[in-house]
Amino acid sequence: MTSEQKRTLALYYCQNVPASGERERQDLEEKYGRGIRLFTVPCSGRLEPIHLLLALEEFADVVFIITCPEGVCRYSEGNKRAKKRVEKTRAIIASIGLEVERIGMIIGSKENPISLADHARAAMERTLKLPPSPVHN
Amino acid sequence: MITGEQKPIDEIREMIAPYKRILVLGCASCVAECAAGGEKETAMLASTLRMAAKMKGEDVLIEEKTLDRQCVRDFVILLDDIIEKYDAVLSLGCGAGVQAVAEMFTEVPIIPAINTEFLGETRDQGYWVESCLGCGDCMLHHFGGICPVARCSKQLLNGPCGGSMDGRCEINPDVKCAWHLIVDRLTKFGALDRLENIYPPKDWSRKQGGGPRKIVREDQQK
Ligand code: SF4
Ligand code: SF4
């Protein structure tokens, strides 16, 4: 078992993230196995705190959201909304003593677009810096 | 609509601490509109409480359900089939909802998860303001549809105090002066002369002078 597999990362990503098609998704699932659960969303603004909370409650050690860059959201405000919801959810988990770092957010860059695989690597690195979640242990 | 805000999680955890099987009960009406106790917020609170319990190694059952209206008996009765499973209900209804459940199910402790705040309106997304005190004798027609009872910080009925400045109330520049709004609006209607009237002190007996109020309508009864 690789060190990645000792944690589970729930990765929600906007469908406009570069190189995030079905094939790339399968590659990631193969690479990280049970260490990653991928959820594509039509727009990160559709994500609600309950999605993040349920992932943390049910299986995830860490949850990450990857949005399209600010200013290029196809639904105009989606990524801004996602940011506020992440903040709200962080406040909720902090209130029960769970580290706020268990909810991460990466806002894509317009000038320097990054593929889903690279985002996943960065998110996984940050996931591994945290101990397993006390919710599941 | 009745507005409310969720209590701090520590306070909620303390209130439910003696119980092992808890139903988190939302209401899909007013408290859903003000994002305090609707289906979403109920699911969030239940999930948060389950996580907190797991982190502390507590062996508790926490489930959730949302009624269309927690303050109407026809909906509260829907708990009849399931309530026996729980030894406490944590309600996200307003104070009226909590009490409606308590009154129908006298064997089960009902705990409030939200602080009921005020009668108000949704001014914008995520922004609610108080607009009525339920005084029992509405005077809005005198004041251009703006309530000095609820919206003037001093509940003045005969014009502004001396503190109104640039349309703002002296208690806080974030608060619009109700009397400034009233004068603007009546001016627009050419009805400023209405303010020549002297309005006597409000008769508060119509609010709670006779204890808790009730409305009985025979035409609405079975
Ligand atoms: S006058 Fe009374 S009933 Fe009318 S809006 Fe004001 S507080 Fe409410
Ligand atoms: S400034 Fe206006 S709203 Fe505030 S107390 Fe005076 S009259 Fe009422």
Residue A21 to residues A63, A67, A115, A116, B25, Cα–Cα distance (Å): 20, 15, 10, 9, 40
The alpha-carbon gap from A97 to the nearest alpha carbon of chain B, in Å, equals 8
- What are the structure tokens assigned to B201, written together? 């002190």
Query: In terms of C-beta density within 10 A (0-12 exposed, 13-18 middle, 19 or more buried), how is residue A131 classed?
Result: exposed
Long-range own/partner contacts, residues B158-161 (CB < 8 A, 24 or more apart): B158/B195, B158/B198, B158/B199, B159/B195
Hey, is the C-beta of B38 within 8 angstroms of any chain A C-beta? no
User: Relative to the alpha carbon of B150, which ligand is closest?
Assistant: 1
The domain that holds B39 is classified in CATH as 3.40.50.2300
Is residue A4 over pLDDT 50? no
Looking at residue A75, what is its pLDDT? 62
- Domain ranges in chain A are 2-128
- DSSP letter (8 states) at residue A34: G
Residue of B174 and B222 predicted with greater confidence: B174
Are A60 and A8 in contact by the 8 Å Cβ rule? The answer is yes
Express each pLDDT in B150-160 by its tens digit.
999 999 999 99
Q: Is B133 in the pocket of ligand 1 (CB under 6 A)?
A: yes
Q: Is the predicted pLDDT of residue A8 greater than 60, yes or no?
A: yes
Half-sphere exposure of A77 (CA within 13 A, CB side): 3
Domain identity same for B106 and B18: yes
pLDDT for A45: 82
* Contact between B160 and B179 (Cβ < 8 Å): yes
Q: Is residue B107 part of a domain?
A: yes
* Second-level CATH architecture of A2-128: 3-Layer(aba) Sandwich (3.40)
> CA-to-CA distance for A41 and A78, rounded, in angstroms?
11
B89: closest CA among B108, B103, B73, B115? B108
Residues A76 and B152: their CA atoms lie apart, in Å, by 38
Would residue B56 count as lying in a domain? yes
Q: For residue B28, is it within any domain?
A: yes
What pLDDT score does A77 carry?
A: 74
* Protein residue with its CA nearest to atom 2 in ligand 2: B177
Q: pLDDT > 70: what percent of chain A?
A: 91
The answer to whether the CB of B39 is under 6 A from ligand 2 is no
Partners of A92 in the beta sheet?
Answer: none
State the smallest CA–CA distance between residue A3 and chain B in angstroms. 23
Residue type, B185: R
**B6 & B113 share domain:** yes
> Is ligand 1 within 6 A of the CB of residue B135?
yes
Asked, for residue B216, whether it belongs to a domain, the answer is no
pLDDT band for position A81 (cuts 50, 70, 90)? confident
Pick from A122, A116, A11: nearest CA to A62 = A11
pLDDT band at A114 (very low <50, low <70, confident <90, very high): confident
Q: Looking at the partner chain, which of B44, B54, B55 has a beta carbon nearest the beta carbon of A53?
A: B44
- This complex has an ipTM of 0.91
Burial of B193 per CB tally in 10 Å (0-12, 13-18, 19+)? exposed
Q: Which pLDDT score, from 0 to 100, does residue A100 have?
A: 97
The Cα of A65 is separated from the nearest Cα of chain B by a number of Å equal to 18
Tell me if B16 is assigned to some domain: yes
Yes or no: say if A48 and A9 are a contact pair by the CB < 8 Å rule.
Answer: no
Give the pLDDT confidence of A88-106 residue by residue, as tens digits: 999 999 999 999 999 999 9
On the 0-12 / 13-18 / 19+ scale of CB atoms within 10 A, A29 is: middle
Residues 6+ positions from B58 with CB-CB distance below 8 Å: none
Residue ending a domain, among B59, B83, B118, is B118
Are the C-beta atoms of residues B44 and A49 closer than 8 Å to each other? yes
B74, pLDDT greater than 90: yes
Instruction: For ligand 2, say whether the CB of B165 is within 6 Å of any of its atoms.
Output: no
A28-52: pLDDT as tens digits: 999 999 999 999 998 888 899 999 9
What is the band of A1 on the pLDDT scale with cuts at 50, 70, 90? very low
Tokens linked to B184: 């603007």
How many alpha carbons fall within 13 Å on the CB side of residue A84? 7
> pLDDT higher for A41 or B64?
B64
Is residue B23 located within the same domain as residue B105? yes
Please report which confidence band the pLDDT of residue B208 belongs to, taking 50, 70 and 90 as the band edges: confident
Instruction: Give me the mean pLDDT over the B181-192 stretch.
Output: 96
- Number of domains into which chain B is organized: 2
- State pTM to two decimals: 0.92
Q: Provide the percentage of residues in chain A whose pLDDT is more than 90.
A: 65
- Rounded to the nearest integer, the mean pLDDT of chain A is 89
- What is the overall mean pLDDT for chain B? 96
What domain range is B164 assigned to? 137-208
Mutate to test the pocket of ligand 2, among B149, B171, B181, B182 (most ligand atoms within 8 A of CB): B171
**Segment holding A120, helix H or strand E:** helix A116-128
Whether B126 contacts chain A with CB within 8 A: no
**B21 or B220, higher pLDDT:** B21
Q: Which of A50, A93, A135 sits opposite B54 (nearest CB)?
A: A135
